[in-house]
Amino acid sequence: MPTAHAPISHSFHVLSKNDLLTTLPVDELERLHHNLELVPLPLGEVIYESGGKLSHLYFPTTAIISLLYVTEDGASAEISIVGNEGIIGVAVFMGGDTMPNMAVVQSAGYAYRLKAQLLQQEFNNSLPMRHLLLRYTQALLTQMAQTAVCNRHHSIEQQLCRWLLLSFDRLPSDELIMTQELISNMLGVRREGITDAARKLQSAGLIEYHRGHITLLDRQGLEDNVCECYSVVKKEYDRLLPNRIAT
């Protein structure tokens, strides 16, 4: 079950650490400001379960959240990741209230939390907010679709490169804390496959992996080894979510 969070003073963070909040016109952001709560999200925490009603939405700042599908026998596979470029809880403003997947913290950090009712009001009453969230949802759907294609047609090494690049794009540093077991659960492949792929990337000098810590050493090298799925997703986010839209 999702756990309660203790809000933290805004003085520890700035709203600009989430790209969606940064993109909002100033008057829109000022209206939301006092209702946003900065909360810590520890590794492995479940933000929402499959079919659970969403009481809050989350704007990640330094945390990364995985959206996963889990089968009846317990197997799981990641369909997308959300970090400082997005929002967790699109079902609220899309009219569904619940989602068939679950959301789990992949990389510990912080997020701004907002009551679902307040976000729904902003979506209904604010044209800039509505346009922004619908654009983000389209980009998210692109990532989901491309992830399905990648998992079906590309090698584990290419999948790992894509996953690492998308993760590092959403982190404030070049270090990711993540075990091979967790990565295998995210990608829906055997742990041995992840071990072999990570060993190849480390031997090539692209990453350093040690006791659950992955350090990015050569970003260009990762981009040279990744399939086209990464660029498709990145270009769509860049197209739909420029740093600032016209008010």
**Among 83, 87, 5, 98, residue whose Cα is nearest residue 48:** 98
Q: pTM for this structure?
A: 0.86
The CA distance from 205 to 201, in Å, is: 6
pLDDT at res. 145: 94
Positions of the chain with pLDDT lower than 70, given as ranges:
1-16, 242-247
**pLDDT tens digit string along 34-61?**
899 999 999 889 999 888 888 999 999 9
Question: Parallel, antiparallel, or unpaired: how do β-strands 46-48 and 213-216 relate?
Answer: unpaired
Place of tokens 């609220």: 92
Q: Which residues lie below 8 Å from residue 166, measured CB to CB, with a gap of 6+? A: 81, 143, 230, 233
Position 4 scores a pLDDT of 54
Give residue 247's pLDDT.
34
3-state secondary structure of 223: helix
